[in-house]
Amino acid sequence: MKAPWNFTRFLPLAGRLLARGRLPTLLFAVASKGAAQGNRLGKLKDDLRLLQALCLAYWRGEYRAISPKALISVVAGLMYFLSPVDAIPDFIPVFGMLDDIAVLAWLMKTLDDELSAFRQWRNRQQPEKLAVVERLPDTPEQLQLQGPKKP
């Protein structure tokens, strides 16, 4: 399946973000925007949380069973979600979030196998461990100090 229009420009940006260790800052921004959007995201709010949990588990070194290409795609999708200037600018009432939702839905479908493997991994973990792995600290700097663990 072909990537949505304008998504591919986020792939090199995502690679640089990961290489520079800026994933914590991205995750905090995603959590903030996701909370602000409330019910406008519908089911995709759960998908957004799953992508965020995957990135947190990766950052903390707890889950590494994801291909580099898939991880970059996830990060690019989260960056697209955050970008105010994409196919349909977010400030346009009602329609501004449609392209973000479409990109997240496309990402969930495209990476279904990778995300299913992550869900299975999560299901095998103790709830106490998941609570620690998937919890965002108070600031991105605190998360930065906690990781990333090397494989």
Q: pLDDT per residue over 69-91, tens digit each?
A: 999 999 999 999 888 765 455 55
pTM of the full predicted structure?
0.86
Q: How far apart are CA 103 and CA 82, in angstroms?
A: 12
Burial class of 71 by CB neighbour count within 10 A (0 to 12, 13 to 18, 19+): buried
Q: pLDDT per residue over 102-148, tens digit each?
A: 888 899 999 999 999 999 999 999 999 999 889 888 877 888 776 66
The neighbour count for residue 138, using CB atoms within 10 Å, is: 8
Q: pLDDT per residue over 11-59, tens digit each?
A: 999 999 999 999 999 999 998 888 777 666 677 888 999 999 999 999 9
Closest residue by Cα to residue 58 from 142, 150, 124, 136: 150
Question: How far is C-alpha 3 from the chain's CA centre?
Answer: 17
Contact indicator for 77, 7 with CB cutoff of 8 Å: yes
